[in-house]
Chain A
């Protein structure tokens, strides 16, 4: 049995996303998963990469505002297409230029962004207004 290294979490900026994904790919890591979460008024996007030999697990963490547009990584990692569609559909993340965009029809749900709390956008708008005033 090998000693399994702990998971690694790398916090990145939006501008770094594509280059970091490229770096992971060049280093020979396998794209394992991507998911979105909603935490304290922001999206937390996680892109995980796994090393098949050392069992390392590296996760890129991108914190983005609700209206921010995120570039798609499908040009670098075509496999991510289902994950990105899922993120867009379940949380309403605005992902730009997905290579195969299902346009919210991956899961065939009528509701828009079902996993995002209903009042999330309104609350954020309120806070913004409060901050400005």
Chain B
């Protein structure tokens, strides 16, 4: 029996992009237990429903997170549309899908950079963010914002992409694809990266299922669940398979995410090829009355939007269950038995988004 001590980790730590605190119980160099505590950046966005009507809440929902902002807006808007029985125009569905995939690309590239930074590969970190910059430029050109898109509204979208813009984006996506394929080689076939990630923080399929893991974190352990398969937005018309891995270690999570970037490029191409002409939105009358659980696939995994309205412009309840919240128990499990030096990497592999967890 070694020496047992408790090491506090965070909320301020060089590897953490956002504040989370972990009490690590450590025996020699191994972590035997981890108790997370969050709540450093709680903003109480859910309580704003008492002050903002359901149209204004779109902007509040979007500002839940700085990285997956479009997804939050889309999830909320689709939930409200479902309650109000609004059929949005096909063009709006496709545009939402394209933006959602662009936001997934930029989120995953950001994560890859952070991961490279966590295992001390600074130049790879900058390289990933350099690729991400081109995606951000595309987003800014089409929506007007770099991270907060603000193009969703109940009933459709507010901005269009014309044929010239789509052609330009398609060309640019080709360039991004080449760069992602190059960087994929650096991540997946580099000995140093493998030494740092292989076999670290293994989570079996059964464990991932029991712990309710979502998104790439669960898919890396072999759970072939991708909310996009549910066919919201235009995903029902597109061809794709969830990307999974059976290894369940940090390397598998990295691999899943890189492959999802390439999958996103493919999905955007498909959507660009099939996008129909038509209106951008339908007029909306009345107030939401009813409740719905909307689930969409965020870059970090399954996000749940529970909206309950009672025929008034102000909603009764909006609840956002973000993927990081679901992945916290999984994180604690992977930390058990890990080396202390691997803790930063393990925290990063769930792609933590603490601000969006605390809303």
User: Does chain A touch chain B in the assembled complex, meaning CB atoms less than 8 Å apart?
Assistant: yes
How many B residues are at the interface, by size bracket?
35 or more
Contact of B235 among A1, A50, A100 (CB under 8 A): A1
Against A, the Cβ 8 Å flags (1 = close, 0 = not) of B301-318 are 010101010100000110
Give the docked Cα–Cα distance between A38 and B46 (Å): 13
Give the docked Cα–Cα distance between A107 and B163 (Å): 47
| B 124-173 contacts with A by CB, 8 A | none
Q: Which residues of A contact B39 (CB under 8 A)?
A: 105-109
Check: B10 CB closer than 8 A to any chain A CB. no
Given known pairs A1-B229, A37-B319, A39-B308, the reply for A57 and B42 (CB within 8 Å) is no
Check: A115 CB closer than 8 A to any chain B CB. yes
Check: A59 CB closer than 8 A to any chain B CB. yes
Given known pairs A32-B326, A52-B209, A107-B42, the reply for A57 and B295 (CB within 8 Å) is yes
Query: B308 contacts A35, CB within 8 Å?
Result: no
Closest B residue to A89 by beta carbon equals: B39
Give the docked Cα–Cα distance between A60 and B308 (Å): 15
| B 2-51 contacts with A by CB, 8 A | 35, 37-40, 42, 44, 46-47
Query: A35 contacts B326, CB within 8 Å?
Result: no
Given known pairs A2-B229, A4-B230, A82-B325, the reply for A31 and B306 (CB within 8 Å) is no
Closest B residue to A3 by beta carbon equals: B231
Report how many residues on chain A are interfacial, defined by Cβ distance under 8 Å. 37
B225 to chain A, nearest CB (A): 4
Check: B210 CB closer than 8 A to any chain A CB. yes
| A 103-121 contacts with B by CB, 8 A | 105-109, 114-115
Give the docked Cα–Cα distance between A100 and B321 (Å): 20
Given known pairs A30-B212, A102-B37, the reply for A4 and B316 (CB within 8 Å) is no
Contact of A108 among B40, B236, B308, B329 (CB under 8 A): B40
Check: A42 CB closer than 8 A to any chain B CB. no
A1 to chain B, nearest CB (A): 5
**Pairs A–B under 8 Å by Cβ, sample size 6:** A32-B212, A46-B306, A52-B223, A79-B210, A82-B325, A105-B39
CB-CB nearest 6 A-B residue pairs: A107-B39, A108-B39, A37-B317, A33-B321, A4-B230, A52-B225
Seen from chain A, the residues whose Cβ lies within 8 Å of a Cβ on chain B are 1-4, 7, 28, 30-33, 35, 37-39, 46, 48, 50, 52-53, 55, 57, 59, 78-79, 81-83, 90, 100, 102, 105-109, 114-115
Seen from chain B, the residues whose Cβ lies within 8 Å of a Cβ on chain A are 35, 37-40, 42, 44, 46-47, 209-212, 223-225, 227, 229-231, 235-236, 292-293, 295, 302, 304, 306, 308, 310, 316-317, 319, 321, 325-326, 328-329, 358
